[in-house]
Amino acid sequence: MESAFLQLMNNRVIEAIELRRSVRTYSGKPIAIETKEEILRILRALSGPFEGTVRCELIEKREAAVKDGVKLGTYGVILGASLFVAGAAGPGSQAMEQLGYVFEQAVLYLTSRGLGTCWLAGTLRRSAFAAAMHLGQDEMLPVVTPVGHPSRIRGPLDMLFKPSLARRRDPWQSLFFDGDFGTPLDKTAAGSFAVPLEMVRFAPSASNKQPWKILRRNRSFLFFLDRDRAYRRIFEFDIQKIDMGIALLHFEAAARQLGLPGHWENPSILHAIPSKKLEHIMTWVAE
């Protein structure tokens, strides 16, 4: 994987994770043609390690209106953006995790280029974006982000999202555990993996729910989804598995940047932890 992604990011993934924020108001300054061509090339090259096909496309608002006769919209949530990246997922048992993993690579790359982004799943005219990216019959379109130069002046909706609230994260002891879910993982005891775990805390998620729980067992880190079932009634896709894909990327990319080798394994008898509430997604095995 990730050697390619780390090379693309010049080994500055951790910095990009810390810098990333949701930008809803853009200056309207055009993005250079050369930059757009580079973004498109990068989008085509991004990949993930899980079971599922993912496609990311660069969409221009004006071009979509002329070529496809569609008007892209975000119900007033995004102002001043004329360029978007849309993420589609095809068949695969881990398609949503793969989409979160790959789409967040795009977001972090754009962040490293000084461009603003904002994960959107609910506040967009989905049919218009689907038409603009020529969505296949076996694909669905869960997520979109605007891309552009952030405005120096925050818009009215931006003012509703206080930076302290947007960046609020659950405490370490409520997310990471040692041996069993009754024993919080001490940050000092996490050792060299404290930073990758902290990067998981920084991961964006739907409504900032942070639906992940991570259990360290020996040299393995088991990732669990603490599901909010209300989302199943809101979306036709599993948005919280997209959240998990983002968390998986943050952990792995940070670990690799720090020279901590390992690999992902699917849940198995070896790693499974019985739980009626938590869903075991993946396990990172340190090497």
Are residue 7 and residue 140 in the same domain, yes or no? yes
| Pair 11, 148 in one domain | yes
- Residue finishing a domain among 156, 182, 207: 156
Within-domain flag for 163? no
Per-residue pLDDT tens digits for 233-248: 788 899 999 999 999 9
Task: Report yes or no on 254 lying in a domain.
Answer: yes
Confidence at residue 164, expressed as pLDDT on a 0 to 100 scale: 45
Of 156, 186, 220, the residue at which a domain comes to its end is 156
CATH number for position 269 = 3.40.109.30
Pair (22, 140) in one structural domain: yes
88 is a domain residue: yes
| pLDDT digit string, tens, across residues 13-36 | 999 999 999 999 999 999 999 999
Same domain, 221 and 123: no
pLDDT of the residue at 2: 53
Clarify whether residues 273 and 204 are in a common domain: yes
Residues 128 and 191 in one domain: no
Indicate whether 175 and 146 sit together in one domain: no
What are the residues whose beta carbons fall under 8 Å from the beta carbon of 55, sequence distance 6 or more?
87, 88, 89, 90, 133, 139
Residue 281 lies in a domain: yes
Give the pLDDT of the chain (287 residues) as one tens digit per residue: 456 898 899 999 999 999 999 999 999 999 999 999 999 999 999 999 999 999 999 999 988 887 888 889 888 889 999 999 999 999 999 999 999 999 999 999 999 999 999 999 988 899 999 999 999 999 999 999 999 999 987 766 666 655 544 457 899 999 999 999 999 999 999 999 999 999 999 999 999 999 999 999 999 999 999 998 888 778 889 999 999 999 999 999 999 999 999 999 998 877 777 777 899 999 999 99
Structure tokens at 237: 């896709």
Same structural domain, 124 and 182: no
C-beta separation of 237 from 142 below 8 A: yes
DSSP-assigned beta bridge partners for residue 224: 213, 280
Beta strands 212-217 and 176-178 are: parallel
**pTM to 2 decimal places:** 0.94
One domain for residues 106 and 237: no
6 within domain boundaries: yes
Query: Domain check: are 43 and 136 in the same one?
Result: yes
Q: Where in the sequence is the domain holding 208, given as residue range(s)?
A: 169-286
Instruction: Among 121, 156, 191, give the residue marking a domain's end.
Output: 156
CA–CA separation, 116 vs 112, rounded Å? Answer: 10
Is residue 100, in this structure, part of any structural domain at all?
Answer: yes
Q: Which residues contact 25 (CB under 8 A, 6 or more apart)?
A: 78, 79, 80, 150, 151, 153, 154, 155, 157, 158
The Cα 10–Cα 19 span in angstroms is: 15
Our count of domains for the chain comes to 2
AA letter at 82: S
- Give the pLDDT of residue 161: 58
Q: Do 218 and 256 sit in the same domain of this protein?
A: yes
Residue 155 pLDDT: 64
State the Cα angle at 209 between 193 and 25, rounded to 5°: 100
